[in-house]
Amino acid sequence: MSRKSVPGCFSRMIWKKHFFKETCCRCGAPDTEIQNEELEKRGKVKKRKKKNENKRVIISNLPFGSKKWKENPNRYYDSNKIKTTKYTILTFLPKNIYEQFHRFANIYFVVIALLNFVPVVNAFQPEVSVIPICIIMAITAIKDAWEDFWRYKLDKEINHMGCYIYSREERAYVEKCWKDVRVGDFVQLQCNETIPADILLLYSSDQNGICHLETANLDGETNLKQRQVVMGFSSQNTLFEPEFFQNTIICEIPNNDLNKFKGYMEQPNHERIGFNIESLLLRGCTIRNTEAAIGIVIYAGHETKAMLNNNGPRYKRSKIERRMNTDIFLCVGLLFVMCLVGAVGHGIWTESFSEHPPYDVPDENGNFLSPILTGFYMFLTMIILLQVLIPISLYVSIELVKLGQVFLIHNDIDLYDEEADLPIQCRALNITEDLGQIQYIFSDKTGTLTENKMVFRRCTVDGIEFSHQENARRLETHKELDLDDEDFAKLQHFTLPPMNIERPATYKQRTMRPLRRCQSARAHFQGHTRNRSLGRCDSNQSQVAFSSTIEKDVTPDSRLLRCVREAALQTENLSPFIHMKTSTSLTDFFLALAICNTVLVSTATEPRQRVTVPPPIKPSGITLEKIHQIFQRLKLASLSQSFSSSQSSSDLGTSFSAKNTEEHLAALDCCDNDDCCASSGGDELQGKGSTDIGSASLDEVFKSVTNSSLPTDFCYEAESPDEAALVYAAQAYSFTLVSRTPEQVTVRLPQGTLLTFDILYTLGFDSVRKRMSVVVRHPLTKEIVVYTKGADSVIMDLLEDSAKADISAEKRMKRIKEKTQKHLDYYARDGLRTLCIAKKVLNEDDFQKWANFRREAEAAIDNRDELLMETAQHLETKLTLLGATGIEDRLQDRVPDTIAALREAGIQIWVLTGDKQETAVNIAYSCKLLNQRDTVFTVNTENKETCESVLNLTLEEVRKNYEVEKPRRKIFGIIPTSFSASEAPSPEFGLVIDGRTLNVIFQGGLEEKFLALTKHCRSVLCCRSTPLQKSMVVKLVRRQLKVMTLSIGDGANDVSMIQAADVGIGISGQEGMQAVMASDFAISRFKHLKKLLLVHGHWCYARLAKMVIYFFYKNVNYVSLLFWYQFFCGFSGSTMIDYWQMIFFNLFFTSMPPLLFGVLDRDFSAETLLGLPELYKKGQNSEIYKLSTFIITMLDAFYQSLICFFVPYLTYEDSDIDVFSFGNPINTISLLTILLHQALEMKTWTLFHVVTMTGSVVFYLVFSLIYNAACVVCNPPTNPYWIMEKQLADPTFYLLCLITPAIALLPRFFIFALRGTFGPSLILKAQQLDKLPKGQQDLEIQKLRSRKQTTTGASVASPASNDDLDQNISHLCVSPFLHPAAAAVSHGDTESQGLSASEVNPLRKRTPEGGYYFFNRWAEEEGTATDSSAGPFSGHYPLVPSRVTNPGQDGGKQTKDSANNFNHGSHRRSVSAVTL
């Protein structure tokens, strides 16, 4: 058997049929058989005892072999054989029956069937009563068996995969099956092989002890991960020898945490070596770029982390199912009443005889049963007779309908993502109808509303901002298309100035073809055929994460490019690096971008082959001495030129959307240009002249160096898109990351020099520190430098105290910090993700002390994580700020439209994100989550009393405004729109709250006030929130407001939120598959949520709700016929309908139409539902299926049964017709009435519907004819022989079949007609629209929408001019406790317009909490509108400058008109944005 190398997901592998036989023969080694027998014989007590220990001890299996296996302590651990099946051939029947008895209805029907075997109470033939329950349980059992069979096949496929295990007898690695791998075995793995168990890495063919993994099978991430050989084994120069391994491994017991693992290895000399998750190879991952790796098995089979995470589809009870269970109990109560009436009636009827009737036979003693006992027996008989009142087939029908609904959702071509080749996944099969009842949506931001494709947009270095206008223009016109290189060059030529193509510094991948994502993962459509790409499975063409064209190509800012080249000149002149102000900062800034990461380097031609050795530099034709001379000659010319032209082409503020940003940043930087490109002598850059000579010469130099230095392009694989974006940005400025090993990283500088830094330590990013650092030794200065990047909220607090420096340095550091903070705030308001870059130089002594501390922490067993955290925090202090970056995470396609439609549908949308507040607010405006008219309350406080008072004050004012709006609507005669059950709020308020405030709310018992406020808010944004806080918010809303909730996210930090909601949706995006694995449904784009909810959700709810209520109606209608008959047969429990026809009535005659109705019925077309989202409220309010509709339907069923019984009764009264001849017309009429009732409910008629409806009637007639003709003595003493044949020859029968259903259905039909005549609702209008031609239908929908928007607009705002809108709405603008940094920004903003803070807001005052308090009331007190000039100020000066335009649409441009209007009171968003 050849070794199987499996590049992709092992669950998709296709193996030859003979492989199973061949493998089984060869992997059944003698020692394995003995081990397996021992496993089966061992007691469960010992196993439990082992599992209960808090640690696991593992030794090598080699000393024990097959003879001493019983002495091996590893024998208590699970084998690697997996079994996901529930049943075996022997256990299937008893186990499946036992599981089906967990359903109450099944127990009920079995008890009833058994009761019918008791002679005293039986209602009809005992054998007949067992048939319905047996058929229902048999259908369920077949379904379960089929699912289990497929699990068995997959288990067999995986268990018989091959791997190499070291054999002591053969002293070599021999091939065995996965199922024969044991804890303590040594396994050899090769490139592209799937890992069979959780293995501790002891040897790698890589010289640095590195093994690369692809974890796509585990978490969906395609970027490679590094795993490191356990410390102490990495320095081996020879091949690892398993027989010499004598260490004992102590680690934690099996758990499902994929990101944590700790333990230690104890050597024979009692020395301990610690290890963590970085040394563990997880089952299901694939070895990449490593020829061979050897390790010892730690966890096997079901104890592996992958298997512990594999919980399969989750079972949830839907809202309809919960409602249905309540109604079943109501039916049980109804059944009890009917049986009680029958029992009492029978007792009364028996007592009415003066002497016992002939059929009342005494017992052997001559005693007759007492009337009470007779009544009790009759009670039980009536239960048997009327048992069909409880719909036995309802449960299995619902399961079949939901499978059909899931099939239709899964195959909807609109929910298929062609680029990613991903359809929608329905992981929970039993809550499809909940999609149609959602009232609250909780969404993540990054990767859910946005692309999670990080694009480098701007940066600030040493307090100087570089706007990257050329890059912004490129991104505006850029479409990520599958272009040829020539086409892309033309596009570049069209978009950018010609010099940008010729300049080598305008970096662009020249050989993008092997790297482009669309070629490896994009499916090609032909019609509706889906061709699945093999991109993720093919190791040679595997897609590279975060490497799309839009992410890789960065057009440099011309001004910054000039500064970088000047810095390179100084470096070449004055090497080693001198401590120039800006040249060093620029160089350090881009070096930090290039090396402060964990990015893996590969070539474009071989994207999976790691570059660990710097490529040889080709002779450039121009020496460094020549470069040096050219720079010297050009130096004077360069310094005498003005950079006005380049500066004007990248005007600093124009790409900001905020209206005052342009002037402000331009003013900021006009005095800083001398710092940016200062010479070593500090000469000022003055004068105006041409830069053509200097520019051309510099370009010539850099072009010559760049084009000849490196022969290849590089491909970067990062663990996060932010890292990749920064590395590509550094590459655009010719700071190219060339190679990386665990010990060294090589960077090519702009002048062509290769610098190889020694990596001393890498402190990875974590959510607590919110930063990462790399400690390197500089190759030129030999200094030890710490480069750190992280969140600005953290880095700014770790900077060196400027007071300790000299006066000039103190001023400079303070200026840089202030300007950088200001730039960061502008970035955040522009919707950019911000990162700060900093450095620190260590002396040798300090570093050695810290390194010793770090080594002790790494070797520690107890509190290891805490010690490592402490060492990292100790190092990352007293940093020097280099600059900051702004990265754009672009909105996904059609997100604003989706959110607007969901909002129209009455759904409340909250965003729960860990991102910065300003960024989240900006994205909220961009995606129409917040409106320009909204008053936005921002609450940031850590004090409980403050939080409570703010919530009270805000809530009081919001309620006052809410009440003021109501009479205004009546005055203008506006009919209020129908609100959903979640109390649709007034659309004038938004709430922004941060994680600290959420903590105060949860810990201080302020949840009710918080919820009361949010109910009146249009949208709620929770920023800087942790995963735990996200889930707490979801649970709070779901439990306190009793609403249906949906959570949607794409990352591991969203898992708890997804699991806390009624419906969880995962987005299979760039952050892996953790969210998908925890979700009920998985989609690839946020825009798919619109059709999933508004169309499929509505359909699923409407279909299932109608089907469930129809089942109740059908059974009550039919059972009532038997109940009415009891009044004419002395409550004896006899029937006028044959037993077989009674049983077949539910099982066959009326079973198919409801199933087809539940799967295919459409009350509205998809176009109408998308065009009129308000129709979704029908499901939100549970209008189709609720207690009132249930009761009305039951009353209608009783009425119809009365008509179906008494019309034939009155027709045949005083005739000599026999019992079955009387019952047969009733049965037929009832069947026709029930089917016609469903025909009235159906909104869609297809060929399937017509066939099933007519087929049911035909099948009934054919069955009756055959049964009545063949059954001579089937049901003694009565005889159904030739009944139907006689009836079909009687004209009265046909007359009854025509008249009776019409009378029975007349009230329902009459009500339907009245609904359409008087006050037609939106639902009826929509149904009429569906019948119109497509063009006319679209026109009518637009009219309806425009009419609704006019109505809504009139009800929300008074009919005044737009300019006075802000003054016409009553606002309380309360702003407690701004963050000091934000307060400083606000202060600076007002001053930048020539106004002091007190002039802008005379009511501002300092609060003891350390923030600012704003209290501004616009015009209109007590509902009385006044002139806008009457207030303290009229809103001309915003408190916080904000942008108006959407970043996804505007791309950074700002028109002159809007800029000019900024100071004229038209900026509603700023006026209404209130910070608390």
User: What is the chain's length?
Assistant: 1476
Backbone angles phi, psi at 459, to 5 degrees: -155, 160
Catalytic hit among 31, 206, 444, 1138 = 444
- Beta bridge pairs of residue 789: 772, 837
1328's enclosing H/E stretch is: helix 1322-1330
- The CA distance from 1333 to 1335, in Å, is 6
Query: 478-511 burial by CB neighbour count: b if 16+ within 10 A, else e?
Result: beeeebeeeebeebbeebbeeebeebbbbbbbee
**Strand pairing of 440-443 and 908-912?**
parallel
Encoded tokens for 9: 């997901």
Tokens (6 digits) for 944:
């409980």
Compute the distance between CA of residue 89 and CA of residue 87 in angstroms, rounded to an integer: 7
Angstrom distance (rounded) from CA 448 to CA 294: 39
In angstroms, the CA 961 to CA 491 distance is 53
Any residues with CB less than 8 A from the CB of 323 and at least 6 apart, and which?
Answer: 1182, 1185, 1186
Residue in the block written with tokens 């040493």: 462
| Angle at alpha carbon of residue 1185, lines to 1183 and 1191, rounded to 5° | 110
Residues 6+ apart with CB under 8 A from 265: 230, 232, 247, 248, 249, 250, 272, 273, 275
Largest Cα span, the chain: 136
> SS3 for 835?
strand
Q: What is the distance between the alpha carbons of residues 122 and 51, in angstroms, rounded to a whole number?
A: 54
What residues contact 814, with CB distance under 8 A and at least 6 apart? Answer: 802
**Phi, psi for residue 123 in degrees, rounded to 5:** -100, -35
Cα 44 to Cα 51, 255, 302, distances in angstroms: 10, 20, 16
1290: annotated active-site residue: no
The answer to whether 1343 and 1322 are in contact (CB under 8 A) is no
Residue whose tokens read 């009934």: 1260
For the chain, helix (H) and strand (E) counts, in that order, are 55, 39
Residues whose CB falls within 8 Å of the CB of residue 288, separated by 6 or more in sequence, listed in order: 191, 192, 212, 213, 214, 224, 539, 608
Q: Tokens 């209805």, residue?
A: 105
Give buried/exposed letters for 1331-1369 (b at 16+ CB in 10 A, else e). eeeeeebeebbeebeeeeeebeeebbbbeeeeebbbbbb
Kind of pairing between the strands at 464-466 and 525-526: unpaired
Can the peptide bond before residue 514 be classed as cis, meaning omega within 30 degrees of 0? Answer: no
Residues 655, 467: contact at Cβ < 8 Å?
Answer: yes
**H/E run at residue 107:** helix 104-115
794-808 per-residue burial string, b: 16 or more CB within 10 A, e: under 16 = ebbebbeeeeeeeee
Tokens matching residue 1441: 């400058």
**Six token digits for residue 85:** 């099946």
Residues 1050/1067, Cβ–Cβ less than 8 Å: yes
Instruction: Quickly tell me which residue has 């990292």 as its tokens.
Output: 872
Question: What would the 3-class secondary structure string for 1426-1451 be?
Answer: CCHHHCCCCCCCCCCCCECCCHHHHC
* Lookup: tokens for 914: 């860990």
Residues annotated catalytic, as ranges: 444
